[in-house]
Amino acid sequence: MMSEAWTREDFLARLQEVGHQGYHHLHPFHIRMNAGDLDRDSIRLWVANRFYYQLNIPRKDAAIVSNCPIRDVRRKWIKRIIDHDGAGAEEGGIEKWLRLGIACGLSSEEMMDERYVRPGVRFAVDAYVNFARTQPWPISIASSLTELFAPDLMAKRLDAFQKHYAWIGSDGLDYFRARLTQARQDSDFALEMTLEHCSDRNMQEAAVDALRFKCDVLWAMLDALW
């Protein structure tokens, strides 16, 4: 017999609990980075490895779009792909992250050829893309809800970089500035889709597990650098 669905409030509380307990803002690498305790090589290594994640975000979102039969959802979700890939002359998040790498002393070639990407980072990111391809679209959307916690982390990261890593040019931090707004907009829509389309207990539990999985992906990426 299927268990009774959680109320909207209980469902939201369970999703938020996952983030409060497992989001990567608690990882020792992030704690040290925000405290200004990392050297230049460690920052460059993080930037180069995180770039592999940035490159794959549009592929993840394209997988969600391809699995979603609801036109209105697809029309709104595709904005995420444009935000990262850019459109026409409009610069996307990938170009902004490349500028961050250059501001840190990396070349575009070094970042694009993935020479510094750790196996653990590659494995975690590839697993995330595969998850989006193979799971029902509402569950894949639920996995993106780490964005609920991203604006606060992004604000702290921006402050930390400006305070502790002044050797990085200010224009290299534009990605962080853009995500302060984008992440909040994205998470609001993703949350509404999760609450609406994960309406029975099985889907609700799968959504919570999906968010936990995404937290593990982000945590594993930092483990590979730690």
Tokens coding 188: 């609001």
Reference 2, options 139, 202, 205, 189; nearest CA is: 202
Reference 217, options 116, 83, 98, 122; nearest CA is: 122
pLDDT score at 111: 97
Please identify which residue in the block is written with the tokens 């894949």.
140
pLDDT score at 150: 78
What's the predicted TM-score (pTM) here? Answer: 0.95
* Total number of residues shown for the chain: 226
- Whole-number mean pLDDT of the chain? 95
pLDDT of 1 strictly over 70: no
The whole-angstrom separation of Cα 180 and Cα 210 is 23
Region 31-35 average pLDDT: 95
pLDDT of 2 strictly over 80: no
145-168 pLDDT, tens digit per residue, is 998 887 777 888 999 999 999 999
56-89 pLDDT, tens digit per residue, is 999 999 999 999 999 999 999 999 999 999 998 8
pLDDT score at 149: 85
Residues 6+ apart with CB under 8 A from 74: 65, 68
pLDDT score at 179: 84
Q: Which residue has the higher pLDDT, 179 or 30?
A: 30
Q: What CATH code is assigned to 8-223?
A: 1.20.910.10
The whole-angstrom separation of Cα 211 and Cα 16 is 9
